[in-house]
Amino acid sequence: MSSHGPACPMTAHRSDGLRGVADVPGDKSISHRALILGALSVGETVVTGLLEGQDVLDTATAMRAFGADVTRGEDGVWRVHGVGVGGFAEPGGVIDCGNSGTGVRLIMGAMATCPIVATFTGDASLNKRPMARVTDPLALFGARAVGRSGGRLPMTIVGAVEPVPVRYEVPVPSAQVKSAVLLAGLNAPGETVVIEHEATRDHTERMLAGFGARIVTEETPEGRVITLTGQPELRPERIEVPRDPSSAAFPVCAALIVPGSDVLVPNIGLNPTRAGLFYTLQEMGADLVFENLREEGGEPVADLRARYSPDMTGIAVPPGRAASMIDEYPVLSVVAAFAQGPTEMRGVKELRVKESDRIAAMADGLRAAGVTVEDGPDWWIVHGLGGDVPGGATVATRLDHRIAMSFLVMGLASARPMTVDDGGPIATSFPVFGPLMAGLGARIDG
Ligand code: S3P
C-alpha cells in the first residue's frame, strides 16, 4: 500500500512502572520469506503466527499477483498454494510493496529468473531507497531493470529467459541483497554462490533448506560462502513464525528506562544474527535476563525479563555486531540517552538507507529532546544524561515505524512528553504496539 492515510500524531507521557507480559507479534523477516517460499513451492504451505503488519500483507498481495493462492482462515492460519520454482505468472498490474524494502527486494529476486516482466513501486520512503544493490547482481543472471534515476522505484524488471547461475560477493552487509540473489538462483540451473563478509540474518538459508533446497553454508577465510543448487522442487512446509526480536526490543527498552518496571517478553528467538541488541544492553548493565533458555526449531529461544535499570553506562558497540542489531540502533540510542556517558555506534552506514536516514532522524529528535549527539557518515555518539532526559519535543517520523516507536518509548521516561508527528507507519511491523504498551501501563495517546 503506497500510503496509510492522514498523519496520525501520537504522544507518550511519563509513565509509572511498566508491568506484565508483552506478547509481541511474529517476525517480519520470517513472515515475508514464508509467503514467498510458499509461493515458490508446489502444494500447500501452512503458516501460523504470521505477522499481519502492512509490509507482510503487501507481500501476500504481491504473491497473489504472481499467481499463488494465498488465504487467511478465520483461525488466523495462512495457507499458500504455490506455483513452483520458475512458475511465477506475469502480474496484470503494478506491484506495490508499500514501505517494505524486504518485500520489494526479495520479490524482485524471486521473479528475476522467470520469463516475465513486472513493475514495482512503493510509498514515498521506499521510492527513495537504493535498488541497484539488488538489480546489479540480478543483471548477472540475465535480468534487466529500468527504473528512475539513481536506481530508484518505480522500476520494471524484465526477467531472464535463460538464466545463468552466478557467483556474487555481497558488497554491503545486507540480508536483503543476499536473499534476492539466492531467490533468483532458485530458477537458474547449476550452483549459485553468494559470499558475505559479515554474517547477516540467515532466515532465507534456513527456510530454503526446510523447503528441501540443497543449500550449504561454509565459514571460510574469505567469509561466509553459501552455495545453492538451482531448480529444486520445493516441497510445501508448515511454518510456525517465531516472535520478532526487533519488536521485542521496544517493550524491553521501555522497561529498562521507566522506573519501577518489570516486563516479561516471552518466546523471543535469539538467533545470533538477530540478537545483538540484547547482548549490548547487558554489557551496558541492563537488568535483562534470558529466562527458560531453550531450543525450538533449531534456534535458541528465551523469555526476556527486563527490569528498570538505573545504573546503565554507555559503551562502544562493537562494529562487527552491527548486522545482528541493525534495526535496533534507533531504540538503543534512546536507552543510551538514559545511560551514564557516551554510547558510540560505529560501522553503521547502512542506517542511512533504511526506511529513513535513521542516524539523521534519531539525532534530530534526540537533540530536540535535550540530548547531545555527534554524528558522521557511518557513526554516531549519544551522550547519555544518566536518567534525566528533558524530552518535550515533537519529532518527524519520516514514514519510519522504528523512529516512531523509539521516540514513544523515550516519552515514557523523559521529564516532558514526546510527540511523533505520525504513528501510522507503526502498522507496517507492529500493528498492536499501542494496545500492547498500554497493557503494560504505558501512557501513549493518539
Ligand atoms: C531484513 C534485512 C535488513 C533489515 C530489514 C529486514 C531482511 O535489511 O534492516 O528490516 O528481512 O532481510 P538489509 O538487508 O538492507 O540490511
33 CB under 6 A from ligand 1? no
Domain boundaries, the chain: 10-26+242-445, 28-228
Give residue 79's pLDDT.
98
Residue of 202, 327, 364, 375 with catalytic role: 327
Q: Check: CATH 3.40.50.300 for 10-26+242-445? A: no
Tell the residue nearest (CA) to atom 9 of ligand 1: 327
Q: What is the pLDDT of residues 295-337, one digit of tens each?
A: 887 778 999 999 999 999 999 999 999 999 999 999 999 999 9
Q: Report the relative pairing of strands 152-158 and 117-121 from DSSP bridges.
A: antiparallel
Residue with cell 520458475: 86
Question: From residue 95, how far is each of 80, 327, 432 by CA, in Å?
Answer: 18, 25, 26
Q: What is the pLDDT of residues 424-435, one digit of tens each?
A: 999 999 999 999
How far apart CA 286 and CA 284 sit, in angstroms, is: 6
347: left (phi over 0), alpha (psi -120 to 50) or beta: left
Q: Report the relative pairing of strands 418-420 and 394-395 from DSSP bridges.
A: parallel
At residue 36, what is the residue type? I
CA 17 to ligand 1 center in whole angstroms: 33
Give residue 297's pLDDT.
73
Q: List the 117-121 sheet strands across, edge first.
A: 95-96, 117-121, 152-158, 144-148
Q: What is the pLDDT of residues 389-435, one digit of tens each?
A: 999 999 999 999 999 999 999 999 999 999 999 999 999 999 999 99
Provide the CATH topology of domain 28-228.
UDP-n-acetylglucosamine1-carboxyvinyl-transferase; Chain (3.65.10)
> Taking Cα atoms as reference points, which of 309, 224, 232, 297 lies closest to residue 267?
297
To the query of whether residue 327 is one of the catalytic residues in this protein, the response is: yes
Give residue 394's pLDDT.
98
Give residue 1's pLDDT.
60
| pLDDT range class, residue 3, cuts 50, 70, 90 | low
Q: What is the pLDDT of residues 235-268, one digit of tens each?
A: 999 999 999 999 999 999 999 999 999 999 999 9
> Taking Cα atoms as reference points, which of 65, 59, 7 lies closest to residue 28?
59
Ligand 1 atom closest to the Cα of residue 106 is: 12
Q: Is 31 annotated as a binding residue?
A: no
Give residue 2's pLDDT.
61
Residue 198 has pLDDT above 90, yes or no: yes
Do 10-26+242-445 and 28-228 agree at the fold level?
yes
**Which percentage of the chain shows pLDDT scores above 90?**
97
Ligand 1 atom closest to the Cα of residue 133 is: 15
CA 160 to ligand 1 center in whole angstroms: 25
Q: What is the pLDDT of residues 75-117, one digit of tens each?
A: 999 999 999 999 999 999 999 999 999 999 999 999 999 999 9
CA 327 to ligand 1 center in whole angstroms: 8
Q: What is the pLDDT of residues 134-155, one digit of tens each?
A: 999 999 999 999 999 999 999 9
> Taking Cα atoms as reference points, which of 338, 336, 350 lies closest to residue 379?
350
How far apart CA 270 and CA 31 sit, in angstroms, is: 17
Q: Is 28 annotated as a binding residue?
A: yes
Tell the residue nearest (CA) to atom 11 of ligand 1: 29
Residue 215 has pLDDT above 90, yes or no: yes
How far apart CA 161 and CA 65 sit, in angstroms, is: 20
175 CB under 6 A from ligand 1? yes
Output the CA torsion sign for 37, 39, 44, 48: positive
Q: List the 215-220 sheet strands across, edge first.
A: 167-169, 191-196, 223-229, 215-220
